[in-house]
A and B are shown apart, each in its own frame.
Chain A
Amino acid sequence: MPANALEPDAPAGRRSAYVALETVDGLPGSIKPDPILVADQVSRHFGGLKAVDVSHVEVQRGAITALIGPNGAGKTTLFNLLTGFDKPDSGKWTFNDRQIAGTAPYKLARMGMVRTFQLTKALSRMTVMDNMRLGAKGQTGERFFASLLPFTWKAQEKANEKRALDLLARFNLDAKVDDFAGSLSGGQRKLLEMARALMSNPEIIMLDEPMAGVNPALTQSLLGHIKNIREEGTTVLFVEHDMDMVHDISDWVIVMAQGEIIAEGPPDAVMKDAQVIDAYLGAHHDKALTSDGVVLTKTPAGDTQ
């Protein structure tokens, strides 16, 4: 399997993910040495349209896995299914070897599988700090009767605030603590959503297009944040369109097209895969197109026959 060479200055998380995935074959549905998430025969139809039909997929623990594919490939639908936000027509999947098909999404989040959304869901009319506090798990003060007794939750609240400030500082949002989340820019909201998801100390964080609508400068820092998440031992699975960004940060790439997984592998290998190129650019992308849609072969002279 031709793979990316490991960068000489690679940090520990990147190094171990690389080593773990080095021997994995690059066929769709390949077996990983230490999968955190395993899905089998997951399918979802919208009317006559087959949105997702995945026969087998595994996500390696501690690695950054990218889920890519052209528009309408079923990436987000697969995300929704795996996180319980949508119900599949069939299929089973496990998280940490535990069957989780049919489990309510809030329970999955408590188990350590936290997601973000393609259309950012910052809670606009709440402050950045309140957004962050909401992310923390197991809060006594969120119980109805305990909430009326502040002494039962004040200490926990303080601890959560401290963690929130640390995270916000890492995401360069510490100046915005008391602002309404609705007053943040689109990119800052993406950062806030990611930081909020991290408040719960997830085992796997699933990011749905974290780079969409974010300016190039911020994209660089977002990529850095995602790498840091891996270095802290959290598994990352993310959906993305842009192959270049994927290439930069992912340890493993899974490619979907028309609801199925068509290829897998390290970024370099996947991007040379003929099937992937076809899926993105069309099977005849190197041929000229006439006005009536008929594909013709280019002659050396440049005119068409």
Chain B
Amino acid sequence: MDFSIILSQTLTQAIGITAIIYCLAAIGLNVQFGYTGLLNFGQVAFVAAGAYAVGVIVFTFDLSLWLAILVGVVTATLLALLLGIPTLRLRADYLAIVTIAASELLRLLVRSIAFKDTFGGAQGLNGKLGQQFHDLNPLPIDFQPLPVLTWTRQDIWVVIVGWVLVALFTLLVWGLVRSPWGRVVKGIREDEDAVVSLGKNVFVYKMQALVLGGIIGAFGGIVWAVAKQSVQPDTFQPDFTFFVYTILLLGGAARVFGPIVGSIIFWFLLTGIGEVLSQAINAGYIDFLSATDVGSIRFILMGLGLMLLMIFRPQGIFGDRKELALDAR
């Protein structure tokens, strides 16, 4: 077994581009679900909106990446309004149903043959989506990749900007939730009617949270498109949203640093388990599994780990167990 490969693969994933994308999606979901209590089961739709904004504007229409980012933000806002206006006045579960359906609808729409010219169908849009961003890379051309980590010069540029984005959004969320605005949305999470009875327009606050969380999620998609230089519809399956929920609960919902820690740990464990298993199988330590099983086995083990987490530390890494023990009623 080659432990240096295991370590390098695992660390690369845990603090790399994938972790950043999921982290951004989780920060958005934390605003919606963690603080405001909105059951958004379609966070992947906002990520896809950001990614496809880059794909369509840069690849299909051959326009500027910076315009694409703006379009991504606007699209996420419109999507949030579209989902929120009919459902936010209703009971919480309606938003859950509508968002999960909308996220699948959006995926099927962009992969449809009818819109192949715009969205690229099932193949998606593959090209130099992030070229304008990579042209700005200040790292020297002969930059040596860091030891242990397997990043290219391009990856490192994305990772640096990606974590800066994460830091900025974390700061934004921190500023919001410690203010009276944050108090109102937490109140809405606890009991909507009580907050209404105190003269707050609950609908507007829920909408603000949904839009903000959606925009932050869309930045996850923008990072994705820029880093991988391609967008494909089938990467935006509902399981993306469930991974984001897992990350959020792992780190601790309604905690400012929950999404960051959750995302790093999630990808560290998921990749680490996979790497250790493949190495062990290749070296012949495990003979009842084949290397092709690893992909599913690591999710089984991950699920088991999460169950244990929920039983023994339901508040996540950062949460306060005493707080969780107080039932909402």
Residues of chain A having any CB pair with chain B under 8 Å: 83, 85, 104-107, 109-110, 114-117, 119, 121-126, 130, 133-135, 137, 139-144, 147-148, 150, 153, 157, 180, 182-183, 193, 196-197, 199-200
**Cβ–Cβ contact A116 & B197, under 8 A:** yes
Q: Nearest Cβ in chain A — how far from B146, in angstroms?
A: 36
> Cβ of A141 and Cβ of B199 under 8 Å apart?
no
* CA of A222 to CA of B201, assembled, Å: 30
User: Per-position contact with A for B7-32: 1 when CB-CB < 8 Å, else 0?
Assistant: 00000000000000000000000000
- Which 10 A-B pairs give the minimum distances between C-beta atoms? A182-B326, A141-B180, A109-B199, A147-B181, A147-B179, A121-B194, A123-B190, A110-B199, A142-B180, A121-B191
CB distance from A28 to the nearest CB of B (A): 28
User: In this assembly, does B175 line the interface, its C-beta being within 8 Å of a C-beta of chain A?
Assistant: yes
A107, B200: Cα distance in complex, Å: 8
Given A109-B197, A109-B198, A200-B198, A133-B180 contact (CB < 8 Å): yes
Chain B 306-329 against A: per-residue CB contact (8 Å), 1 yes, 0 no? 000000000000000011001111
In the bound assembly, the distance between CA atoms of A182 and B191 in angstroms comes to: 12
Whether A141 lies near B181 (C-beta < 8 A) is yes
Residues in B whose Cβ lies below 8 Å from that of A182: 326-328
Check B327–A114 contact: CB distance below 8 A. no
- What residues of chain A lie closer than 8 Å to B175, measured between beta carbons? 147-148
Which chain A positions have C-beta within 8 A of B322? 180
B 182-201 binary contact with A (CB < 8 Å = 1; else 0): 11101101110111111111
* Contact yes or no, A147 B187, CB < 8 A: no
Chain B residues near A (Cβ < 8 Å): 172, 175-176, 179-184, 186-187, 189-191, 193-202, 208, 322-323, 326-329
Contact yes or no, A124 B198, CB < 8 A: no
Do residues B328 and A124 form an inter-chain contact, with CB atoms below 8 A?
A: yes
- With a CB–CB cut-off of 8 A, which chain B residues contact A105? 196-197
Number of A-B contacts (CB under 8 A): 107
Complex contact B181–A143 (CB within 8 A): yes
Q: Known: A121-B191, A123-B191. Is A139-B176 also a contact (CB below 8 A)?
A: no
Task: Give the residues in chain B near A109, CB-CB below 8 Å.
Answer: 196-199
Measured between beta carbons, the chain A residues less than 8 angstroms from B176 are 144, 147-148
Q: Is the CB of B182 within 8 A of A114?
A: no
Interchain residue pairs with CB less than 8 A apart (17): A109-B196, A109-B198, A110-B199, A115-B197, A121-B194, A123-B191, A124-B329, A125-B323, A130-B186, A133-B180, A142-B183, A142-B200, A144-B181, A148-B175, A148-B179, A157-B180, A183-B326
Cα distance, A129 to B329, chains bound together (Å): 18
Contact of B198 (CB < 8 Å), options: A114, A140, A180: A114
List residues of chain B with CB within 8 A of the CB of A144.
Answer: 176, 181, 208
List residues of chain A with CB within 8 A of the CB of B179.
Answer: 141, 147-148, 150, 153
A-B contact sample (20 more), CB < 8 A, given A114-B199, A117-B193, A123-B187: A85-B196, A105-B196, A106-B196, A110-B199, A121-B197, A123-B194, A125-B186, A125-B326, A126-B183, A134-B200, A141-B179, A147-B176, A147-B179, A147-B180, A147-B182, A150-B179, A153-B179, A183-B326, A199-B198, A200-B198
B197 touches A83 (CB 8 A): yes
